[in-house]
Amino acid sequence: MLLSFQHLTSTKQLSREDTDAILKVAADMENLLEKKSGDDRLKGKVLASLFYEPSTRTRLSFETAMHRLGGDVVTADGFQFSSLYKGETVEDTIVVVGQYVDIIAMRHPEAGSADRAASVSPVPFINAGDGPRQHPTQALLDLYTIQKEVGHIDGLHITMVGDLRYGRTVHSLSFLLGLYKNVKFTLVSPRELTMPEKVTEFYREKGIEYREAESIEEGLNADVLYMTRVQKERFADQSEYERLKLKYILTPKHLVGKKCTIMHPLPRVGEIDPAVDSNPRAAYFREVRNGMITRMALLSMLLGKV
């Protein structure tokens, strides 16, 4: 199955044919995992896992995905343990690493670093998060989760809650959902953390219905309630972060009589009460497993081993 891209830096690159193909291969990967723990289709292939910002899910799921398909992983985490610390550019780092490996996944704090990396990468490059800008593989795993949990994507009503300004996952997911028909957004955030203009402009250009709100109660009748963390690491003024960090806390009381599927890219830092976890519609830990499944699909497709 062919994809329309060699490098994935933004969900704006993806076509509906791409997402249909990725969701289909992801379903095949899920079946594979149910029958056995994986296979050897990526034997002899090596992934470079470059994480210059903290990560638990993205890094470990990329690495596990590679291992489950028989491939190998080399890793660099933290600026201080790489030559970026000595002043080497992202571009030089990627050209160098591309001499060793078959595919690269990179997380970096600077918006736009992924495009710079992809522009010189000699091997397929995947953006694993570039500052506040994009996190395309999170959006793909979110899409897979929505299809599984809600049963449809066309006609979806999604409420996004929290830090819509700095939360890259809601930017990436918005662009991806723009490929589907009649998707509607309710955007709940403090005024300081509203969805950036580049995303709302995209909704308007595409004729996508959206509504901005400040209270979580206004978004509870959606198909999906997508909670997010306030992104502490993006605030220059930590007192501003402290003021805004727990403006929205989802509790079981909010969900009485509601049918929404509850998602969160994680980590959560207080915005979902753990008492919500036992709600059958709390999908955020299933979402995590879907991350590994979706990344197995993407790695195998980009390496031509479907």
Q: List the one residue out of 23, 257, 235 whose CA is nearest residue 144.
A: 23
Among 19, 127, 138, 189, binds ligand CP (CB under 6 A): 138
Size of the site for ligand CP (CB under 6 A): 10
Closest to ligand CP by CB, 64 or 89: 64
Tell me the window of 18-26, 191-199, 249-257, 259-267 that interacts with ligand CP (CB under 6 A).
259-267
**Residue 143 · residue 19 · CB < 8 Å:** yes
Closest to ligand CP by CB, 220 or 276: 276
Interior angle at CA 111, CA 106 and CA 116, nearest 5: 60
Which string of DSSP letters, residue by residue, matches 106-166?
EEESSTTHHHHHHHH-SS-EEEEEETTTB-HHHHHHHHHHHHHHHS-STT-EEEEES-TTT
Closest to ligand CP by CB, 48 or 220: 48
Residue 61: DSSP 8-state: H
Closest to ligand CP by CB, 7 or 264: 264
Residue 271: DSSP 8-state: S
**Residue 169 · residue 139 · CB < 8 Å:** yes
Beta-carbon contacts of residue 213 (< 8 Å; ≥ 6 apart): 186, 187, 188, 219
Is 64 a binding residue for ligand CP by CB under 6 A? The answer is no
Beta-carbon contacts of residue 91 (< 8 Å; ≥ 6 apart): 116, 117, 119, 120
Active site residues: 57-58, 86, 107, 135
Distance CA 121, CA 278 (A): 44
**Residue 105 · residue 117 · CB < 8 Å:** no
Among 12, 41, 57, 289, binds ligand CP (CB under 6 A): 57
Q: Which x/- pattern over 239-258 shows residues binding ligand CP (rule: CB under 6 A)?
A: --------------------
Q: Which x/- pattern over 260-299 shows residues binding ligand CP (rule: CB under 6 A)?
A: -----xxx--------------------------------
State in angstroms the smallest separation of the CB of 155 from ligand CP: 26
State in angstroms the smallest separation of the CB of 110 from ligand CP: 16
> Under rule CB under 6 A, which residues in 26-55 are in contact with ligand CP?
55
Q: Which x/- pattern over 155-194 shows residues binding ligand CP (rule: CB under 6 A)?
A: ----------------------------------------
> Under rule CB under 6 A, which residues in 108-137 are in contact with ligand CP?
129, 135
Among 15, 56, 119, 215, binds ligand CP (CB under 6 A): 56
Q: Which residues would be at the binding site for ligand CP (CB under 6 A)? A: 55-58, 129, 135, 138, 265-267
